[in-house]
Homo-oligomer: A and B are copies of this chain.
Amino acid sequence: MFSSASPTVAAPTLAGPMPMAMATPRTDAHFNQRASQQIVDTLKLLNEVLAPQRRVIHAGEPIYQGGERFANLYILNSGFVKIVGLSADGREQVVGLKFRGDWLGFDGIADAQYACDAIAMDTGEVWTIRYDALLAACAREPMLLTVLHGAMSREIGRDRDSLMSVCTLPADARVAEFLRYWADSLARCGLRTDQIMLRMTRAEIGNYLGMTLETVSRALSRLARCKLIAFAEKGRREISIPDVGGLADFVQASLVPAMLQ
Contact = CB atoms under 8 A, between A and B. Distances in A.
B164 A87 contact: yes
Interface of A: 3-4, 9-10, 12, 14-24, 65-69, 83, 85-91, 93, 95-96, 106-113, 115-117, 135, 138-139, 142, 145, 149-157, 159-164, 166-169, 207-210, 251-252, 255
Contact of A252 (B21, B89, B106): B89
A69 B10 CA distance: 10
A85 to B, nearest CB: 5
Number of copies of this kind of chain in the complex: 2
Nearest to A131: B149
Contacts of A156: 106-107, 152, 155-156, 159
Contacts of A252: 89
Contact of A91 (B19, B109, B168): B168
B68 A112 contact: no
Contact of A68 (B17, B111, B162): B17
Nearest to A84: B21
